[in-house]
Amino acid sequence: MQLSKLLKYSRSGYFLLRNHRDNRPFFIAIEITGDCNRRCVYCSFGGNSCKSEDLDYKEWRRIISYFTQKHNASYISFVGGEPFLRKELLFQLVADTSRKAITSVITNGVLVANDDLKKLKELGLDSICFSIHYREDFNRNTLLAIEAKKLDLITLLSVVVYSQGMELYRDVLKSCIKHNLIFCFNLCQQFNNSPTASNLIKNIITPENLSEVI
Ligand code: SF4
């Protein structure tokens, strides 16, 4: 591991403990856009674009600086909506933040190219999570994750438990084991316009189903 990275991780570890003790923020999630190119029914962003209200670079920079400088917040995650809809802004903020804080991005992968991963790595990104919402995401996001892993990024594949069927979850898990990726299993309880959400979750998350995957 590079010395600069080692120092950054040591510093983050120190502030994780200190901020916890002092009730200060350590982890900040930056929703750089409320817009998304997907409309997943279980997501509060699905169909609720608020692109016109997105903050600009200067405003985000001021907010991030407040947390990183005043509170030594040391883990900044860039999320959306879909953060790659504002790719240039994402790159600028990662470049500004990555020297001192651990940085991560969560994306649905639709707009991500291998060159973007290289660029983010060069800018200092530490971790990337590709979320898999539908079967059609599986191959693309697995290939992107393998590429990210080759670049030495901490790489996660995440699935949201909905109605895709246990086969998809099992395939994602197998892929994570095979390629040494981190598996993330999201349990969503809120579904837009879906009063039957909790029943759906209860039906999927049964000991029998889980034992097929884990
Ligand atoms: S891809 Fe992610 S952010 Fe976009 S609608 Fe689906 S869950 Fe929400």
CATH no. for residue 26? 3.20.20.70
| Residue 181 beta carbon below 6 angstroms from any ligand 1 atom | no
The domain total for the chain is 1
Domain residue limits at 25: 3-213
Atom 8 in ligand 1: residue holding the nearest Cα: 43
Considering the chain, what is the average pLDDT of its residues?
87
Indicate the pLDDT class of residue 195, thresholds 50, 70 and 90: very low
What's residue 50's pLDDT? 57
What's residue 133's pLDDT? 87
Mean pLDDT over 177-191 rounds to: 78
Whether the pLDDT of residue 82 is over 80: the answer is yes
Predicted confidence (pLDDT) per residue in 154-175, tens digit: 999 998 776 556 678 788 888 9
* Per-position DSSP letters for 6-52, written without gaps between them: HHHHHHHHHHHHHHHHTT---EEEEE--S--S---TT-TTTT---GG
Mean pLDDT over 180-188 rounds to: 82
- Sheet-wide strand order for 27-31: 27-31, 75-79, 102-107, 127-132, 154-161, 182-187
- Nearest Cα to Cα of residue 128 among 78, 61, 193, 195: 78
Whether the pLDDT of residue 200 is over 90: the answer is no
Measured in Å, residue 160 CA sits from the centre of ligand 1 at 10
Contacts of 9 by beta carbon, 8 Å cutoff, 6+ apart: 102
Ligand 1 atom closest to Cα of residue 37: 4
| Residue 40 beta carbon below 6 angstroms from any ligand 1 atom | yes
Measured in Å, residue 86 CA sits from the centre of ligand 1 at 15
Whether the pLDDT of residue 49 is over 60: the answer is no
What's residue 203's pLDDT? 63
What's residue 119's pLDDT? 98
Whether the pLDDT of residue 213 is over 70: the answer is no
For residue 110, the SS3 value is: coil
Whether the pLDDT of residue 206 is over 80: the answer is no
Ligand 1 atom closest to Cα of residue 36: 4
Dihedral pair phi/psi, residue 160, rounded to 5°:
-105, 125
Ligand 1 atom closest to Cα of residue 39: 5
Measured in Å, residue 6 CA sits from the centre of ligand 1 at 33
Indicate the pLDDT class of residue 72, thresholds 50, 70 and 90: very high
**Between 207 and 5, whose confidence is greater?**
5
CA–CA dist 32, 43 (Å, integer): 16
- pTM attached to this predicted model: 0.87
Measured in Å, residue 17 CA sits from the centre of ligand 1 at 32
Rounded to a whole number of angstroms, the distance between the first and last alpha carbons of the chain is: 31
